Amino acid sequence: MKVRNVGWWFVAPAVIVLGVFFFLPVLAALAMSVTDFDLYALSDSANLRFVGLQNYGRLLSEPLFWKALGNTLYFVVLGVPLSISASLGAALLVNSKVARLRNFFRTVFFAPVVTTLVAVAVVWRYIFHTRYGFLNYGLSEFGIGPIDWMGDPHWAMPAIVILAVWKNFGYNMIILLAALQSIPEDLYEAARIDGASGWQLFRHVTLPSLAPVLMLVSILTMTGYFQLFAEPYVMTEGGPLQSTLSVLYFMYEEGFKWWSLGRASAVAFLLFVLMFAVTVLQLRIGRREANV
Amino acid sequence: MTRSKMISRRHGVTRREAIAAIAGATATLIGCGRSRGERQLVRFWTIGREGEVATTLIQDFVAAHPEIEVEVQKMPLTAAHEKLLTAYAGDTLPDLCQLGNTWIPEFAALHALEPLGARVAASKVIDPADYFTEIFNSNRVDDELFGVPWYVDTRLLFYRRDLLQKAGFDHPPTHWAEWEQMLGAIKEHEGHDKYSVLLPLNEFEPLLVLALQQPSELLRDAGRFGNFRSDDFKRVMSFYRNIFERGWAPRATNTQISNVWDEFGKGYFSFYISGPWNIAEFKLRMPENLKDAWMTAPMPGPNGPGASSAGGSSLVVFSSSKAKEAAWQLAEHLSTSASQSRFYDLTGNMPPRRSSWEVPALVQSPYARAFREQLDRVRSPPKVPEWERIATQMRLAGERVVQGKESIEDAVADLDRETDEILEKRRWMMDRDHADRSHAGAS
């Protein structure tokens, strides 16, 4: 055995596993996306037609796909910054030296992450309830009239964002907390000696030190949020007026509800291309800021 | 969770459930050979609640047939469709199965079902004339019979008798115009924060029931194209839209209502279109002082008593079965009047045979009476495998119209276009098969 081949032997198990359980299915899905694979094809392969890029073409000309894409982008654009600010805010609070019961709050903030969405959804449905909901009760204290959270196409997505942010911010909070604790205390001390205010400390010491972690967190959150599915699935079933239908939900319905597996595969690839492009863009911006 | 089985079937399947289905199918394959020694094994798959009582129902059968062993498997309702398809793909379908009658066209298209016409004709137990005609025919696809009805399901009105009385009516509506009068009167009487009827926007059944009351077909040319542009369907749409525009029905989904029974008790709405399972639910959940305040009534139609949908579950034998004869014997046993009465006692499922309705439990139930009447006036939705997807598009078109996003003209044109696209594959296959056949005939 030649020495330079030894490396391959070490990576072989991982490569085989990846190949069989990742690359092979991906290739199969790619092949499927250029056919009209459906229930009929399942019964008799003579019913399978090669359709080339027709699935992609049809999807790109289908208003519902664009609507799903628009909804997803809306969710990402609204949800990711909110989610990260909530995480950062919570991390700063929990890390603060003046805070009491820090362990308690750390646990409380993290609790939503480990709860089951389906169970929480039942509670949130009541929180969002137009007539009996706690949220509308709270808003009425400020003189704001009842909002039909789950029934009004304009409010359904913001409601989903609120739920998703609440559900997820604890996870990023833990990551950011770890990063906060690793910022050397002497940096703050030096800045304070120079007469920096609290805000200046945050702006010029905390944020730059957190930058790489924030980058990581934002990429993770963004990819996660692009795959919006469970929240509308349990809360609104994509309604009202398909205003909470996400790309992934659209794909799920195509594939697992209607068995148009060819079209569903095409959706998956379009979503992949989109997420890949956005991630590359994000990395570019992140790198440029690091260079400045 | 209601048992709107056939209809809301494919909701709620996660990847994990799909894997569980595969694992389950595999376990079945490994766990039991087709026959153990001398005895023949019949694998019988059931869905949801029925599975719990199936074991009780087959006790007599097992005692009378020592040579047959029956293995009952329960599928959860939400995973049943996927589980069956997975079993089909893995060639591990059971011998006998409970199948929603709206699923039959789909499994017939997969050539997974054994035709039962000859067996029924020879049967001493199953007499098609004794069955509700349309319910029985819902098991036919292209003139071939693929299932025998096990229990029936149809939609009709549940209503608040007391509130209707307060509004000045002593009887339920018999036709649309009268129904509209009542809806208006109740709204007037109950006030702006209450509604007359609940037609959940996330269910296609209410709209479908209204559409089935019209003579026009919903699909034309043997299910090749959508026929939603017909005047009949437009009439249904404007009737439906009017109910929302007048504020008689809330623009809401079932999930927003949170607790339908509770709201019905509070008088949030006075009419509700639902099925037999809700008789037991309302009996259980209505407050003590309102025990007698509610009743069921057949669907009002455009010009008189109207039709409703022919739903229910059937017993089917899969064509891959190695124990078809034994499976058929079991199906016959489950179809006797005695079995069906027992089935009603155990589950509240309504029997598909007229003779089974003569038992005291059913004759005396005031709530069952409307169902008995309705069952002679039911109609099947179009029998194409793509139907449920089309029905979903129909619901969405209805939602766009009542939310004021689209005119009826535009909505039905869009709906026809979407339907034609969904049926494209079916048309291609029909044309190909037709060409093959005429080619074979010519040579």
User: Is the CB of residue B353 less than 8 Å from the CB of residue B180?
Assistant: no
Q: Could you tell me if B405 and B300 lie in one domain?
A: yes
Taking the CA of residue B275 and the nearest CA in chain A, the distance in Å comes to 22
Q: Do A256 and B425 touch (CB under 8 A)?
A: no
* CATH entry, A53-291, from 3.30.450.40, 2.40.50.180, 1.10.150.120, 1.10.3720.10: 1.10.3720.10
| Cα B172 to Cα B185: distance, rounded to the nearest angstrom | 13
Q: Do B106 and A236 touch (CB under 8 A)?
A: no
The confidence band for B98, taking pLDDT boundaries of 50, 70 and 90, is very high
Q: In 3-state terms, what secondary structure has residue B120?
A: helix
For residue B82, list chain A residues with Cβ-Cβ distance below 8 A.
Answer: 256
Residue B6 in domain: no
Taking the CA of residue A175 and the nearest CA in chain B, the distance in Å comes to 28
The confidence band for B35, taking pLDDT boundaries of 50, 70 and 90, is very low
Q: In 3-state terms, what secondary structure has residue B173?
A: coil
The pLDDT of B107-136, averaged and rounded, is: 93
Q: Do A237 and B255 touch (CB under 8 A)?
A: yes
Q: What is the pLDDT of residue A1?
A: 58
Residue with tokens 């044109």: B413
Q: Do B253 and A242 touch (CB under 8 A)?
A: no
State both tokens at B169: 């009516």
Q: Could you tell me if B117 and B257 lie in one domain?
A: no
Sign of the CA dihedral running B155, B159, B161, B164 = negative
Residue B437 in domain: no
Closest-approach residue (CA) in chain A for B268: A131
Q: Which of B141, B255, B392 best probes binding to A when mutated, by most A CB atoms within 10 angstroms? A: B255
Q: What is the pLDDT of residue B30?
A: 46
Closest-approach residue (CA) in chain A for B113: A43
For residue B255, list chain A residues with Cβ-Cβ distance below 8 A.
Answer: 125, 150, 235-237
Q: Could you tell me if B230 and B319 lie in one domain?
A: no
Q: What is the pLDDT of residue B10?
A: 38
Answer whether residue B25 shows pLDDT above 70: no
Q: What is the pLDDT of residue A292?
A: 58
Q: Over chain B, what is the mean pLDDT?
A: 88
Residue with tokens 């290739």: A27
Domain count, chain B: 2
Taking the CA of residue A157 and the nearest CA in chain B, the distance in Å comes to 15
The confidence band for B38, taking pLDDT boundaries of 50, 70 and 90, is low
Taking the CA of residue A20 and the nearest CA in chain B, the distance in Å comes to 17
Q: Each residue of A68-105: b (16+ CB within 10 Å) or e?
A: bbebbbbbbebbbeebbebbbebbbebbeeeeeeeeee
Q: Could you tell me if B39 and B71 lie in one domain?
A: yes
Q: What is the pLDDT of residue B347?
A: 86
Q: Which of A35, A249, A258 best probes binding to B when mutated, by most B CB atoms within 10 angstroms? A: A258
User: Is the CB of residue B352 less than 8 Å from the CB of residue B150?
Assistant: yes
Among residues of chain B, what percentage have pLDDT more than 90? Answer: 65
pLDDT tens column, B144-201? 999 999 999 999 999 999 999 999 999 999 999 999 999 999 999 988 889 999 999 9
For residue A240, list chain B residues with Cβ-Cβ distance below 8 A.
Answer: 201, 251, 253, 399, 403
Q: Do A42 and B85 touch (CB under 8 A)?
A: yes
Q: What is the ipTM of this complex?
A: 0.83
CATH code for the domain of B63: 3.40.190.10
Q: Could you tell me if B171 and B301 lie in one domain?
A: yes
Q: What is the pLDDT of residue A79?
A: 96
Q: What is the pLDDT of residue B375?
A: 93
| pTM, two decimal places | 0.85
Among the listed residues B217, B216, B235, B251, the one whose alpha carbon sits nearest the alpha carbon of residue B177: B235
What does each C-alpha distance from A190 to A96, A203, B341 come to in angstroms? Answer: 18, 15, 86
Q: Do B106 and A39 touch (CB under 8 A)?
A: yes
Closest-approach residue (CA) in chain A for B387: A258
Q: Could you tell me if B283 and B355 lie in one domain?
A: no
Nearest to A241 among B110, B403, B429 (CB): B403
pLDDT per residue, tens digit, chain A (292 aa), is 577 788 889 999 999 999 999 999 999 999 999 999 988 888 888 889 999 899 999 999 988 999 999 999 999 999 999 999 999 999 999 988 887 888 898 899 999 999 999 899 889 988 999 888 899 999 999 988 888 888 888 999 999 999 999 999 999 999 999 999 999 999 999 999 999 888 999 999 999 999 999 999 998 999 899 999 999 998 988 878 899 999 999 999 998 888 889 999 999 999 899 889 988 998 888 788 766 5
Residue B246 in domain: yes
For residue B251, list chain A residues with Cβ-Cβ distance below 8 A.
Answer: 151, 240
Give the containing element (helix H, strand E) for B241. helix B231-245
| Cα A58 to Cα A72: distance, rounded to the nearest angstrom | 19
User: Is the CB of residue B39 less than 8 Å from the CB of residue A282?
Assistant: no
Residue B223 in domain: yes
Residue B378 in domain: no
The pLDDT of B371-378, averaged and rounded, is: 93
Residue B123 in domain: yes
Task: Give a three-class secondary structure readout of chain A.
Answer: CCHHHHHHHHHHHHHHHHHHHHHHHHHHHHHHCCECCCHHHHHCHHHCCECCCHHHHHHHCCHHHHHHHHHHHHHHHHHHHHHHHHHHHHHHHHHCCCCCCHHHHHHHHHHHHHCCHHHHHHHHHHHCCCCCCHHHHHHHHCCCCCCCCCCCHHHHHHHHHHHHHHHHHHHHHHHHHHHHHCCCHHHHHHHHHCCCCHHHHHHHHHHHHHHHHHHHHHHHHHHHHHCCCHHHHHHCCCCCCCCCCCHHHHHHHHHHHCCCHHHHHHHHHHHHHHHHHHHHHHHHHHHHHHHC
Q: Could you tell me if B290 and B324 lie in one domain?
A: no
Q: Could you tell me if B84 and B42 lie in one domain?
A: yes
Q: What is the pLDDT of residue B155?
A: 93
Q: Could you tell me if B163 and B283 lie in one domain?
A: yes
Q: Domain residue spans in chain A?
A: 53-291
For residue B266, list chain A residues with Cβ-Cβ distance below 8 A.
Answer: none
The confidence band for B442, taking pLDDT boundaries of 50, 70 and 90, is low
Q: What is the pLDDT of residue B130?
A: 94
Sign of the CA dihedral running A37, A38, A41, A46 = negative
pLDDT tens column, B249-266? 999 887 788 788 889 999
Domain membership of residue B144 as a residue range: 15-154+310-364
